[in-house]
Amino acid sequence: MAVLVTGAAGYLGGRIAAALAGGTHGPVVALDRAGADLTVPGALDAIDAAGITTVVHAAAVTRFGVDKPTAEAVNVRGTARVVEFARRCPELKRFVYLSTLYTAGKVTGYVGEEPADPKNTEFANHYEWSKAEAERVVLNSGLPAIIARVATVGADDDTGQVTQFNAVHNTLKLVYYGMMSLLPGEPETPVVLATADFTVKAVLALLDAEPGVYHLCPDAEHTATLGELFETAFAVFAQDQAFARRGTLRPLFCDELAFADLLSAAGTLRRGPVPDALASVAPFAAQLYLPKVFGNARLHKVWPGYAVPEPLQLVSAATQYLVRTRWGRNQ
């Protein structure tokens, strides 16, 4: 009995592998890209399939701005290769695939824990499309598959420490340094944030669950709106002396056309902190105009110890950490 974890050198994959070590599911076979490059045919041929009872497939390119060929090569065809390996595991009990809530694409309203339909869904970026397509590969494989759709990770844990930066952190950085006068999105749009700690615990709770789709996210009442998130972050910024001396004005929310104009203007600049940070924000910006509520009843059912931090406390703690360390430079 053993667990295979792909992407074990990654942010979530590494934490999952560490959490599983010495647990009841057997020894962990932790794979990183050096051990198995999933873009190469036969990448898993050297792995002994005998005794593998669980596969946790966490390897992926998770950048919202990833190009389509890379997303397809890593997230779609790479997943197909892991599925092919899993079919050779005679004792396999569960195949857990780490996906994203945003396989829902550009829909609005309630999103249930149901299979995605990539052929009839419009996506905001290639990352969303590739994860939805990979879900389809997994669900059509005949394996005892669990789709674990994760939320955007705002911090490592409830302390607010951040060791992996994403579009949320990059946007806050632009605002802090006064480089972003316009913010994309509607203030009332819910922004679903979780911690890495919450996500790992949720994955562990799924290892013996029934196959199906699960949303690894807080409830709606534990989800802040975009406006609340920035009000909280700006209040933290205001307590910082360097920020206060600059007299930075609070940025304004804008419509999609105005933000497109901002991106166009930034595109004329040479590479630097502003265009680089905007490049990480832009592929996800469309979602900030598309309010969604993600159901998580199935997660509740299999995780009796479900617990999440108060969302604005988490945003405040993470923002304090970002300011104190200047986005990780002064740790």
R_g over Cα of the chain: 20
Low-confidence residues of the chain, pLDDT below 50?
none
Residue 277 confidence (pLDDT): 67
For residue 300 the two structure tokens come to: 């509740």
**Contact status, residue 174 vs residue 279, Cβ threshold 8 Å:** no
**Contact status, residue 58 vs residue 92, Cβ threshold 8 Å:** no
Residue 82 confidence (pLDDT): 97
Q: What are phi and psi of 99, to 5 degrees?
A: -115, -155
CA distance 253 to 43: 46
Residue 11 confidence (pLDDT): 96
Residue 31 confidence (pLDDT): 83
DSSP SS3 for 1: coil
Amino acid at 55: V
pTM, full prediction: 0.94
Residue 272 confidence (pLDDT): 66
Cβ count near 46 (within 10 Å):
8
pLDDT digits (tens, 9 = 90+) for 53-87: 999 999 999 999 899 999 999 999 999 999 999 99
